[in-house]
Chains A and B, each alone.
Chain A
Amino acid sequence: MELTQICDLAVIGGGPAGMAAALEAYQSGVEKIVIIERDKELGGILNQCIHNGFGLHYFKEELTGPEYAQRFSDQIPGTTIQAMTDTMVLDISPDKTIHLVNTKNGYQQLKAKAIVLAMGCRERTRGAIGIPGERPSGVFTAGTAQRYLNMEGYLVGKRAVILGSGDIGLIMARRLSLEGAKVLACVELMPYSNGLNRNVVQCLNDFEIPLYLSHTITRITGTPRVESVTISKVDEKRNPIPGTEITFQCDTVLLSVGLIPENELSKTAGIALDPRTRGPVVFENMETSVEGIFACGNTVHVHDLVDFVTAESQRAGRYTAAYIQGQSPSPNAFLPVTAGSMVNYTVPQKIHLPASAPVEIFFRVAMPMKDKKIVVTASGTGEKLMEFKRLHLAPGEMEHITIPTSALEKVPDGIEIAIV
């Protein structure tokens, strides 16, 4: 028969989110904690992010991805946290039974009092954005190319065009250049970059790589390997404009066209997902729609900086500990938080009542803007509760505001966050 184990807390995913949540729950008094990680070591995608720039907020110093991860993984041996690596979770039932498999112990069930979901995200692919053309080798998502270079030690190409100016794409433009490859162009569909400004400067400008805004790849050519790509300018509706084609002779195409929270396991547990974030709908304590299952990090919404993943996951860890210790708010009384004008989504989407502490709300804006206000209003009445000035807002950067408990007391229908 199958072996069934029991634990207080099971954390799915051993990246920065999972490690921070587990460590924080441990600090808060939870003893029997298991982290389940599919890779052979903890750290998640940070292990392949060998560039610097991590930790400026959290550690007040500049670290590489593996160094940032190690700050957390080094703490685990001194705790009662058990890290099950090289182990895959196959499904989670709503009663918090986890089905998992590995080569050492085979097929197992793990029954947990609480679960933290920290599976991270995946990359959008060529298929998801439907780039037409032939089907040669040499087309990679930026993260896959990053793994080949930084983990396996292989160069995926010598002349590359990068589609998308998200952070991974920008980082890979620099990485390929440092390895002696020629990056011919970075092509962005939108009229602005989706990456952090510092990455545009350090990864493109410093290497004289041209950034083609309002352009997209309209054809990939080559058999059996990429031989060229054609890009076109796009109109306001993002449709290619005939006659604007530019063709680059290249052997490689990298795609940095968005990240999607990984939530296949969340679906098996019956957790409600937000179609905008594509992650679970969460309360301010990071609890999902299924009682006792919490979520944090990029599985909830895609973050810009790992420092913020850490902070969110620590919060999830603390609240999960409280749940295990029997101090949990009732799921029935809550305020909905809605995204208003120019706001793409909010996390959390719900706030438990009565609010016991100030609530931090995270969101992304729909387009770059200058000299605007973030306005919090009462849903229904439209009464303005608070406003926050911002000189600069951009979709590439996650925004956040803190709402004091006093502001949440007189808004029976919830609150709305908008940019005006």
Chain B
Amino acid sequence: MYDAIIIGAGVVGCSVAAYLSRYEMNLAVLERENDVAMGSTRANSAIVHAGYDPLPGTLMAKYNVRGSMLYPQLCKKLSVPYQQIGSLVLAFSPQEDQVVRDLYDRGVKNGVPGLQILTKEQALAKEPNLSEQITSALYAPTGAIVSPWEFAIAMAENANQNGTAFFFDHPVTGIEKIEGGYRITAGGDTFESRIVINAAGTHADQVNDMVAPHTFSILPNKGQYYVLDKNQSDVVHSVIFQCPSKVGKGVLVSPTVHGNLIVGPDAVDVASPDDCSTDREGLQFVVNQAMRSTSKFQLREAIRNFAGVRAHSDQDDFIIGPVEGFPGFFNLAGIKSPGLTSAPAIGEDMIRILKENGFSFSPKDQVVETRDVVVFHNLDHQQRAEMVKKNPLYGRVICRCETITEGEIVDALHRPLPPHTIDGIKRRCGCGLGRCQGGFCGPRVQEIIARELGIPYMAVEKDKTGSYIILAETKQGGVK
């Protein structure tokens, strides 16, 4: 019997696993997809919010501010791209000037450091490409950008190194209360655990309802984005928000840690928690809204569009804690924005929540706290020369847009929780993130995956289970 099973390997589940794995616990994570970070975690704005937005006293406020403080150190230790570039919320009218002042007050109450209200002139001095129509702005120096999927992967690898078992392609289909815990059916296997932590994201209500009474509903809400070429990354240098409204934090324009510009999202309720399709109207809306903040980006430099689904619920706040009448069953549900920012804080707090509910564990004597990743293009000339001398595979560039070497891909395939898909490699190394979108490197990455994992070339998938790239050999047959 496990001490705790976490359902869902998104950023929340992985963060909880990473923190709990520092204690003497027998832990497992069950994930329905074939990799970490396959849901909302891989399709969002990639922002670590400063914390002025949530209402004081809410769980969102508490975990946001704490999460924002945890990120810099965690990302440094785990080699995750993170940049504290600051954020601006723009006002365009006297009404919105008031919103900016309200956000400032809220932020101060929430304990957000360094907030400043800027005049139009001050904001334009900071970001000269902003619209002349702005009237004031809220500046938050602790606003930051991060690679959300790399953060979740790093937390998962760390949890795994500290003893957490991960089961991919294991969608949970049943949960049953048994003596001293729960029995979970997933992917044809059964698992027993004293504690169950539901971090199933957009499917959290379904997981809850498998064992407990229906107390909340997830109302999936979709947001669409454009990603623009690196040649657009100079348009703005900080995260540019508009004033939040009932439907979300509005459309933002921001650099990404990978050197691109991201524009989005809209916010539309959708029927399916898995609806990640984009549409013409949504993408057009995003561009029109973003143009209010700055008209200086070139849409013809778009390299990708995508959509993500937020795990909105019918409750105003995050749903975090025990389920009444079901000792040992905990929900971490309705983790909408600022969920990415809050994830490590929720993970950190989980041991306290368990203790308050009668589950105490002692810390391990020794835990792994760091993770080293070679990123060839970040090295200087001297370091590059040394790396290639040590391992010649760092001398073969596979992804030319992002300068990713074979050495880095092979590293990723031999780290804890190795991926086995082209997109799994993309999320870990960055190949295919660039302007050619994997056109050049895709076949070569496929070859390296097949070789390193000892699987047939044709069996390598692009993304989710079943997403085969090749459907047959040609008449003369493939390279053997």
Contact = CB atoms under 8 A, between A and B. Distances in A.
A132 B439 contact: no
17 contacts: A88-B403, A103-B395, A122-B435, A122-B439, A127-B304, A132-B278, A132-B305, A135-B306, A137-B468, A138-B469, A149-B474, A152-B478, A154-B478, A155-B470, A157-B471, A218-B280, A224-B462
Nearest to B305: A130
A140 B27 CA distance: 40
A1, A103, A179, A252: residue with the most chain B Cβ atoms closer than 10 Å: A103
Contact of B439 (A130, A133, A143, A154): A143
Contacts of B303: 125, 127-128
Interface of A: 1-2, 38, 86, 88, 90, 99, 101-107, 109, 122-123, 125-128, 130, 132-138, 140-141, 143-144, 147-149, 151-158, 179-180, 218-219, 221, 223-225, 240, 251-252, 264
A80 to B, nearest CB: 25
Interface residues of B, number: 60
A152 B477 CA distance: 9
Which of B227, B401, B440, B473 has most A Cβ within 10 Å?
B440
A224 B465 contact: yes
Contacts of A179: 474-475
A132 B226 CA distance: 11
Contacts of A106: 385, 388-389, 392, 395
Contacts of B400: 38, 88, 264
A101 B404 CA distance: 12
B436 interface: yes
Contact of B279 (A90, A132, A147, A158): A132
Interface string B372-407: 000000000110110011001111110011010100
Given A106-B389, A152-B443, A99 B381 contact: yes
A248 B394 CA distance: 44
Given A88-B397, A103-B393, A152-B478, 14 more contacts: A2-B385, A101-B396, A104-B392, A106-B392, A125-B304, A127-B437, A128-B300, A128-B302, A134-B276, A135-B276, A135-B306, A154-B478, A180-B475, A224-B464
B479 A153 contact: yes
A153 B278 contact: no
Contact of B472 (A103, A104, A141, A155): A155
Nearest to B462: A137
A102 B385 contact: no
Contact of A107 (B278, B395, B470): B395
B283 A130 contact: yes
Contact of B467 (A109, A144, A224): A224
A135 B382 CA distance: 40
A169 to B, nearest CB: 14
Nearest to B437: A125
A273 to B, nearest CB: 10
Contacts of A135: 276-277, 306, 463
Contacts of A224: 461-468
Given A2-B381, A137-B461, A144-B442, A132 B467 contact: no
B277 A153 contact: no
Nearest to A144: B439
B475 A107 contact: no
B473 A153 contact: yes
A265 to B, nearest CB: 10
Contacts of B279: 132-133, 219
B95 interface: no
A251 B464 CA distance: 16
B397 A154 contact: no
A127 B302 contact: yes
A239 B479 CA distance: 43
Nearest to A123: B439
A121 B287 CA distance: 28
Contacts of B366: none
Contacts of B464: 223-224
Given A125-B437, A224-B466, A103 B392 contact: yes
Q: For the complex of A and B, list the 7 residue pairs with the smallest distance between their C-beta atoms, beginning with the closest.
A: A127-B304, A224-B467, A137-B462, A153-B478, A88-B397, A106-B388, A137-B467
Contacts of A151: 443
A128 B435 CA distance: 8
A38 B397 contact: yes
Contacts of B440: 122, 144
A204 to B, nearest CB: 21
Contacts of A140: 439
Interface string B295-312: 000001011111000000
A106 B469 CA distance: 33
Contacts of A158: 471-472
B395 A152 contact: no
A132 B393 contact: no
Given A106-B392, A134-B277, A147-B443, A101 B397 contact: yes
Contact of A101 (B226, B388, B469): B388
A376 B469 CA distance: 50
A102 B389 CA distance: 10
Interface string B401-436: 101010000000000000000000000000000011
Contacts of A264: 400-401
Q: Which of A123, A130, A144 has the most CB of B within 10 A?
A: A130
Contacts of A155: 470-474
B300 to A, nearest CB: 8
A104 B397 CA distance: 13
Contacts of B245: none
Given A103-B393, A122-B439, A132-B277, A225 B470 contact: no
Interface string B53-79: 000000000000000000000000000
B476 interface: yes
Nearest to B421: A137
Contacts of A154: 457-458, 470, 472-474, 478
Given A2-B385, A88-B397, A137-B467, A153 B392 contact: no
Given A152-B478, A153-B476, A155-B473, A103 B467 contact: no
A90 B471 CA distance: 35
Contacts of A90: 397, 403
B54 to A, nearest CB: 31
Contact of A136 (B382, B388, B467): B467
A268 to B, nearest CB: 11
Contacts of A251: 471
Nearest to B303: A127
A92 to B, nearest CB: 14
Interface in B259-313: 274, 276-280, 283, 300, 302-306
Nearest to A218: B280
Contacts of A225: 466-468
Nearest to B379: A107
A17 B87 CA distance: 47
A327 B69 CA distance: 63
Most A Cβ at <10 Å: residue of B279, B395, B397, B463: B395
Nearest to A175: B474
B466 A101 contact: no
A156 B470 CA distance: 5
